[in-house]
Amino acid sequence: MASTRKTMVVKIGSSTLVGEDRALRRDFIAELASQARELRELGWNLVVVSSGAIACGAPSLGFERRPTDMPSLQACASVGQCILSAVYDEEFRAADLLTSLVLLTRHDTARRSSYLHARDALTRLVELGVVPVVNENDTTTVDEIKFGDNDTLAALVSCLVSADLCVTLSDIDGLYTANPSLDPDAKFIPRVEKIDATIIGSAGDSTTAVGTGGMITKIRASRILMTAGIESVICSGEEQRPLVRLARGEQVGTRFVPPAERFEIAPRKLWIALGDSTHGTVTVDAGAAKALVERGGSLLPVGITSVEGAFNAGDILDVRDVDGMTLARGIAEAGSDELSLAAGRRQEEIAGNRLLANLADKPAIHRDNLIVFA
C-alpha cells in the first residue's frame, strides 16, 4: 500500500542560518527541529537543504570575512560542515528525530546512473523516518562541478524525493514587482502561476556577505519545480513556524503553482533539467520556439539563429528565444562546431554538405531529450 505521507523540502540560506555576529543560530535550528516534529505528526516528512558550511567555518579559522580563494573556501567548508552537522544532530535528537548528512556535487548527478543512486538513497532515508540534511560538498568541489547555488540543489532534491512542496527560507519575505530595498513602490506578489520575462525582470539581486545567489536563482529553481509539477514557496526565515503553517494550508510568502493542465514529465527529462550543468546555449527563432512550446517538437537546425559555448554531442544545452528567455533544456545531437555551421539551414541543404553529414537525418535536439519549461 502506497504511503499517504507527504514530503516537504526546505532550503535554508546562509544569511538565515548565520547571524550578523557570524555565529550559527542554534536557536533557529532548534525551532526548525520543533517544526519537523510537528510536521511528522501532521503526516509530512522533511528533507533539509542547508547552506552555511563556509559561513560557519570562516570565523572558526580566523577569517574576518568570507575568503575568495578556492583552497581557503574549501578549508572553511570542511571545518564548518562539522560544526553545522553537529548542531543539526543535537537539536533534532532533542526533538526525537534522527538526521543524516548527504553531500552532493555535480559528479553525483551528471551521470544518469549516479543520479538514480542518489535518488534511491534519499528516498530510503525518508522511508526510514530520517531527516536528511543535504548540502553541496564544498570541500572537494570546484567551479566545473558546482551546482552554483543551493536553490538549484533544493530543486534537484525535490525532484529526487518526489516532494509535494519545496520551501525556501530566505532573508526576504517573497517576490515583489521590484527590489523592495530599492523601490518603495514595489508590490508583494503572493502567487505566481507562470514565470515569464516580467517575473524574471522583477528579481532584484539579494546577495549577502555570507551567502551566494539571489532572487533570480530562486525563481529559476521554482520554474523547474513548476515544470515538474511541484509547488514551491519563497518566504522569510523569520516567519513564525512557516513550515507548519504551510503544511496546514496557510498563505505564507510567495507560492509558485504548477500549471493545472500539464503533461507528465518523465524522470529522465527532470534529470536533463537538473542533473548536469549546461555546456552551451542555442537561440531559436519565433517559429522554432512555437514548435517547441506548443507542439512539443524536436529542435531542427533551421530554427537556430545562434550558438554559444564550446560543447560536444551529448552535452546539455539551454534553448533561448530571441528575447533571451530560456525556453527549454536538452541534449545536443552534435557539437558546437557542427551546429554553428548548420544553424539556419534546412535538412536538404545539410544533407548536401559533406561537413554536416552527421546531422542530415537527425535534429539538433530530439524531443525525447528535451524538456520545455513551464
* pLDDT the model gives residue 210: 42
Q: Residue 184 contacts by C-beta under 8 Å, 6 or more apart in sequence? A: none
State pTM to two decimals: 0.87
Specify the DSSP element, H or E, that contains 306: strand 304-308
Whether residue 184 is contained in a domain is answered as yes
Whether residue 273 is contained in a domain is answered as no
Q: Tens digit of pLDDT for each residue in 147-195?
A: 557 898 999 999 999 999 999 998 889 999 888 888 889 899 999 998 8
Residue with cell 526546505: 10
CATH of the domain at 165: 3.40.1160.10
Tell whether 46 and 150 lie within a shared domain. Answer: yes
In the predicted model, what is the mean pLDDT of the chain?
89
* pLDDT the model gives residue 357: 82
Whether residue 262 is contained in a domain is answered as no
Tell whether 240 and 292 lie within a shared domain. Answer: no
From CA 203, how far away is CA 102, in angstroms rounded?
30
From CA 114, how far away is CA 109, in angstroms rounded?
6
Considering 225, 256, 287, which residue would you say is the last residue of a domain? 256
Exposure b/e, 44-60, CB count within 10 A at least 16 = b:
bbbbbbbbbbbbbbbbe
Amino acid at 16: T
Give the number of domains in the chain: 2
From CA 72, how far away is CA 53, in angstroms rounded?
13
* pLDDT the model gives residue 264: 64
Tell whether 160 and 235 lie within a shared domain. Answer: yes
Tell whether 150 and 252 lie within a shared domain. Answer: yes
Tell whether 344 and 245 lie within a shared domain. Answer: no
SS3 292: helix
Closest CA to 104 of 156, 55, 163: 156
Closest CA to 164 of 196, 202, 126, 134: 126
SS3 365: strand
CATH of the domain at 318: 2.30.130.10
Whether residue 138 is contained in a domain is answered as yes
State which residues form the domain around 309: 278-372
pLDDT tens digits, the chain, 374 residues: what are they? 456 899 999 999 888 999 888 889 999 999 999 999 999 999 999 999 998 899 999 999 999 888 989 899 999 999 999 999 999 999 999 999 999 999 988 777 878 888 889 999 999 999 999 999 999 887 776 554 345 578 989 999 999 999 999 999 988 899 998 888 888 898 999 999 988 888 887 775 444 444 444 788 889 899 999 999 999 999 999 999 999 999 999 999 999 999 876 556 778 888 888 877 889 999 999 999 999 998 889 999 999 999 999 999 999 999 999 999 999 999 999 999 999 999 999 988 998 888 888 888 899 999 999 999 97
Tell whether 12 and 150 lie within a shared domain. Answer: yes
